[in-house]
Amino acid sequence: MPRLKIDEDIKPLSDVRIGIASFIKQVRNTKRPLIITQHGKGVAVLLDVSEYEAMQEKLELLTDVQTSLSQLENGQGVAQEDAKEKVLKRIQQ
């Protein structure tokens, strides 16, 4: 996801209400999120769908890596030779 441009990508809710179509177009074209503020504080983020999906995929991958690391720390890992042997057996069947 491209880096946020503070002067372009932070808008008050009142502006978003008036011109939502133009802000959706901006998010779609730039692939940058739009931070929506209310009373000067961030309250929501508008994201392009493809950027959101990419974020979800990265989050799932990071979760899987963290789970794997925890399993290894708890001695639940499988030695490389054992894993290789199991995979080769499955392939040969």
Q: pLDDT by residue (tens digit) across 13-54?
A: 999 999 999 999 999 999 999 999 999 999 999 999 999 999
Q: Where are the beta strands (DSSP E) in the chain?
A: 10-12, 34-38, 41-46
Q: How far is CA 36 from the centre of its chain?
A: 19
User: Which of 11-34 are b and which e, b meaning 16 or more Cβ less than 10 Å from the residue's Cβ?
Assistant: beeeebeeeeeebeebbeebebbb
Contact 34, 27 (CB under 8 A): yes
Confidence of residue 6 (pLDDT cuts 50, 70, 90): confident
User: How much is the pLDDT for 59?
Assistant: 96
Tens of pLDDT, residues 42-91: 999 999 999 999 999 999 999 999 999 999 899 898 888 988 999 999 99
User: How much is the pLDDT for 2?
Assistant: 84
Q: What is the pTM of this model?
A: 0.70
Contact 9, 32 (CB under 8 A): yes
* Domain edges within the chain: 6-48
- Across 2-10, average pLDDT: 89
The CATH fold of domain 6-48: YefM-like fold (3.40.1620)
Contact 68, 76 (CB under 8 A): no
